[in-house]
Amino acid sequence: MCFIAVIGMEEKFKYFDSLLNSAEEYSKTSIELIKLKTVDKVADGTSSLVAYAAVVIALVLFFITLNFGVALWLGTIMGGSYLGFFMVAGFYALVAIILFIFRNKWIKKPLNDSMINQMLN
């Protein structure tokens, strides 16, 4: 009778050990999956940021060249190149004031929403 109780106890320990090993493997796999998902999100965000930065740099160079051209053209029309540059500067001052007034609605909120959607999807 004592021998049968020992066999039953050994089987219980074997099942418990198997269950413990399965739980350990599950936790290791879960942690590895979280790491891989994190790496994927960081890589996706970084690559998107670099791609957008390249486009922004190209657009900035384009607009700088365009602004010099417009300022020189306006200066020629108005009789002095400095007047063209003042007109372009005044235009950008007006744009900056408008952007400052609507910065939360036009810039901050859409950017926050975009970043949250990027992280959660």
What confidence category does residue 33 fall into, taking pLDDT thresholds of 50, 70 and 90?
A: very high
Q: pTM for the complete prediction? A: 0.58
Q: Which tokens is 51 given?
A: 């791609």
Looking at residue 64, what is its pLDDT? 96
Share of the chain above pLDDT 90, in %: 55
Looking at residue 4, what is its pLDDT? 52
Please provide the average confidence, as pLDDT, over all residues in the chain.
88
Classify residue 86 as exposed, middle or buried by CB count within 10 Å of its CB (0-12, 13-18, 19+): middle
- pLDDT tens digits, 3-30: 555 566 777 778 888 888 888 999 999 9
